[in-house]
Amino acid sequence: MWSITEEGEENRRSAVLLSLMASLLYGSQFVVIKTGIGDIDPLLFGAMTSAIGGLVALAYVLPKGYISWRTFTRWEVWGGVGTTTAMISLQYTGLTMAPASIGGLIVGSNIIFVAPISALVFKERLGWRRALGIGLGLIGLTTITTNWNLSTLASGTLSGYIMLIGASLCIALTYPLIRVATRRMRFEEWVTGFHLLTPIPLLLLALADGDLGSTASTNALAILFVGVLCTSIPTMLWAKGLESLTFVTSATILLSESVFAVLLGLLLLGEQITGLTFAGVGMVFAAIFLASSGDKNVRGERS
């Protein structure tokens, strides 16, 4: 009995470490995208990074036999393509107009949207803590994006913030999709499938935009960094960690993504935040904890 308990505790420690690594990789992408995207079309940048991520995932699952041509016929995979295409389009474009630190915080606050979506789709009990967290989170996001100043409503930065909120909502929408998808296929198969297909609509959208921009100021290392380390790899690490973690624990670890993104933006890019923005940041962090303090037996995943 003691050895079983000891093994379980060791698995949990490993899961926490894997999840933390994934969260930090996710958090690092905002500064890298902000500094490395240059003048290239954000959609083309996203197509290249997701293509690299798909190939990395394929190199992992193909020898294990986790993927086949049937993978690309499943609606769950195409659902992942839809949410990921929207998320990358909104996130990458939004980051060209908003600070990386605040962008990372907004995108990382997706747990605020997960709670009401779960209540609507799966009839999960919302509870007063989650309801309070949702309300506080929305007030915090409003404070961050507007500073309660009506003159900001016409600014490009606000447009960027709105896009980033949309990206956060797209991530939240993947939670019910993941729950359905993993009933019929392995998580690795699903992740690889939509990462391989997502570059196609992103490239088509970039071409439809008509201006692919200039690659002269785009950092190729940034494309490689985001593609290799911030797409499929952290998703795989996160999935592995979630095998031994509850939803509350994983949501708490998710908070480190936002913290890391904010710290990198402030320290490496010298970004400044106002007192009201700082207060909004505090409200969002508190909201994340409240929104993740529901059913301790529910596990969650992230794409």
Going by C-alpha positions, the residue among 91, 101, 68, 114 that lies closest to residue 247 is 114
Q: What is the pLDDT of residues 188-215, one digit of tens each?
A: 999 999 999 999 999 999 999 877 877 7
Query: Which tokens is 147 given?
Result: 């500073």
Euclidean distance between CA atoms 39 and 50, whole angstroms: 19
Question: Using CA of residue 161, residue 293, residue 79, residue 241, what is the dihedral sign?
Answer: positive
Identify the residue whose tokens are 């949309």.
166
Going by C-alpha positions, the residue among 81, 100, 31, 61 that lies closest to residue 200 is 81
pTM for the predicted model, two decimal places: 0.83
Euclidean distance between CA atoms 6 and 290, whole angstroms: 31
Structural domain count of the chain: 1
pLDDT at 295: 45
pLDDT at 300: 42
Q: Band the pLDDT of 224: cuts 50, 70, 90.
A: very high
Identify the residue whose tokens are 């509870």.
127
pLDDT at 66: 92
pLDDT at residue 155 is higher than 70: no
Question: Using CA of residue 238, residue 196, residue 198, residue 182, what is the dihedral sign?
Answer: negative
Asked whether residue 1 is assigned to any structural domain, the reply reads no
Which segment, 117-126, 138-147, 222-231, 262-271, is predicted with the most confidence on average?
222-231
Asked whether residue 11 is assigned to any structural domain, the reply reads no
Identify the residue whose tokens are 């909104």.
90
Asked whether residue 4 is assigned to any structural domain, the reply reads no
Asked whether residue 298 is assigned to any structural domain, the reply reads no
Q: Band the pLDDT of 245: cuts 50, 70, 90.
A: low
Instruction: Count the alpha carbons within 13 Å of 29 in the hemisphere toward its beta carbon.
Output: 30
Asked whether residue 217 is assigned to any structural domain, the reply reads yes
Query: Which tokens is 34 given?
Result: 């902000």
pLDDT at 279: 85
Q: What is the pLDDT of residues 254-303, one digit of tens each?
A: 667 877 888 888 888 888 777 887 888 788 778 777 766 654 444 444 44
With a pLDDT cut of 70, the percent of the chain lying above it is: 83
Average pLDDT over residues 211-232: 84
Q: What is the pLDDT of residues 39-76, one digit of tens each?
A: 889 999 999 999 999 999 999 999 999 999 999 999 99
pLDDT at 154: 60
Asked whether residue 118 is assigned to any structural domain, the reply reads yes
| Local structure of residue 231 (DSSP, 8 states) | T
pLDDT at 298: 42
pLDDT at 210: 77
DSSP, collapsed to helix, strand or coil, labels residue 213 as strand
**C-alpha triplet 29, 30, 35: angle, nearest 5°:** 100
Q: Band the pLDDT of 8: cuts 50, 70, 90.
A: low
Residue scoring higher pLDDT (130 or 223) = 223
Cα-trace Rg, the chain: 19
Average pLDDT over residues 156-181: 86
Q: Band the pLDDT of 217: cuts 50, 70, 90.
A: low
| C-alpha separations of 215 from 201, 211, 226 in Å | 20, 12, 16
Residue range(s) defining the domain that contains residue 270: 16-291
Q: State the alpha helices, DSSP H only, in the chain.
A: 2-36, 42-61, 75-95, 100-108, 111-122, 127-146, 156-181, 187-197, 199-209, 220-229, 232-241, 247-268, 275-291
Cβ neighbours for 177, distance < 8 A, ≥ 6 positions apart: 76, 79, 80, 83, 303
pLDDT at 143: 83
